[in-house]
Structure 1
């Protein structure tokens, strides 16, 4: 597959994910951002201000792993630095997805110490999990408009928790990733189901 075909394939995959997420209410308005690694030095990422349920090839641009915008005249997502942090630390990483779902956002406000997920069979959809008998803590980072500072905070945490499959930003949304777009999408579906389960469980315990 040549470079043009690779770009087309990745933008098609990410666009389909955007429509799927929008239909489920996970990326309202222009919220969220998606990216995929093109090669060892570049990634495709959603352009700033684009509706994620209506993405096409024009909704993406190229950015270098050093942060340089490689598509002249285009503006990438304001949170590009959070994607770059993940790609830089994990050469095998192929895609990063970010949503703003209702349940993830509410849980992030109510769980500043992190959201604990345990006992759910769907946890086995996540990397390295082979049984429901696992305790997974999804960290919640304070929201911050200073993206380099937030990315540094995430990096510090991940040094101590290298197998982390996703994280929440308080009052903001959720990030997850995978080796491919399909893997990252599967992780997102699993987490969003788990967040909804956790929210409903908390309602029942009131």
Structure 2
């Protein structure tokens, strides 16, 4: 786990917001990003800001319950970030992206509770994986406006020894995390790429090149 100062977290989160927006994974005001701070609190994006146009003032502090420490308003999904920090003490950064591919995959298979990723070289991006010759399941949980419902559905599955540091909320988007922001970025980018590759394979199998 890596911790950083608030000024460093603000600069890093502003930069990652621009990067995710450039990928098309942060439409409108969607998404939220956080980092664990060296004083035991968490820096997280303020609610309702466009992530491609963040300023450092759009990154606030919350305690480990998700309560604001500076009077600014955090996203309702702050609770999901806190759940990851609670369950994974090694997590230093959490990212939430909203690609059309990730949302589309979760909606196209409404009964799926996970998506198996097998024999992909890209799997080696994830921490602790050194070969393509295996499979891992990306969990999918139904969306809810009650973050406790999402947490209760997802937490037991993420604690499995073979769980990826990522999951999908159906019709909503992707969560991924890492020991630091660089690792969280790799997890998000690898997972988004794998989802796009899986959708391309489905398209080719069905006779479409789209």
Q: TM-score, normalised by structure 2?
A: 0.91
Q: SS in structure 1 opposite 2:84?
A: helix
Contact 1:114/1:137 (8 A) holds in 2: yes
1:27-66 residue pairs with structure 2 within 5 A?
Answer: 27-39=26-38, 41-66=40-65
Residues in 2 aligned to 1:170 and 1:203: alpha-carbon distance in whole angstroms: 20
Residues in 2 aligned to 1:47 and 1:65: alpha-carbon distance in whole angstroms: 16
Superposed displacement of residue 53, structure 1: 0.5
Structure 2 vs 1, CA of residues 40 and 158 (structure 1 numbering), >3 Å: closer, same or farther?
farther
Q: SS in structure 2 opposite 1:139?
A: strand
Residues in 2 aligned to 1:162 and 1:71: alpha-carbon distance in whole angstroms: 38
Moved over 6 A (4+): none
Aligned pairs, number: 202
Residues in 2 aligned to 1:131 and 1:181: alpha-carbon distance in whole angstroms: 23
Residues in 2 aligned to 1:160 and 1:131: alpha-carbon distance in whole angstroms: 19
1:1-206 residue pairs with structure 2 within 5 A?
Answer: 6-39=5-38, 41-72=40-71, 74-111=72-109, 112-161=112-161, 163-206=163-206
Residues in 1 aligned to 2:80 and 2:161: alpha-carbon distance in whole angstroms: 17
Residues in 2 aligned to 1:130 and 1:171: alpha-carbon distance in whole angstroms: 31
Superposed displacement of residue 180, structure 1: 0.2
Superposed displacement of residue 205, structure 1: 0.9
Residues in 1 aligned to 2:189 and 2:65: alpha-carbon distance in whole angstroms: 30
Superposed displacement of residue 44, structure 1: 0.5
Contact 2:167/2:174 (8 A) holds in 1: yes
Residues in 2 aligned to 1:40 and 1:157: alpha-carbon distance in whole angstroms: 30
Superposed displacement of residue 60, structure 1: 1.0
Deviations along 1:15-46, whole A, 9 cap, x unmatched? Answer: 11111111110111000110000036310011
Deviations along 1:120-162, whole A, 9 cap, x unmatched? Answer: 1111111111111110110110000011221122222223457
Residues in 2 aligned to 1:67 and 1:9: alpha-carbon distance in whole angstroms: 20
Unaligned runs of 5+ in 2: none
Residues in 2 aligned to 1:119 and 1:37: alpha-carbon distance in whole angstroms: 33
Superposed displacement of residue 7, structure 1: 1.2
Alignment RMSD, CA only?
A: 1.6
Contact 1:108/1:171 (8 A) holds in 2: yes
Q: SS in structure 2 opposite 1:157?
A: helix
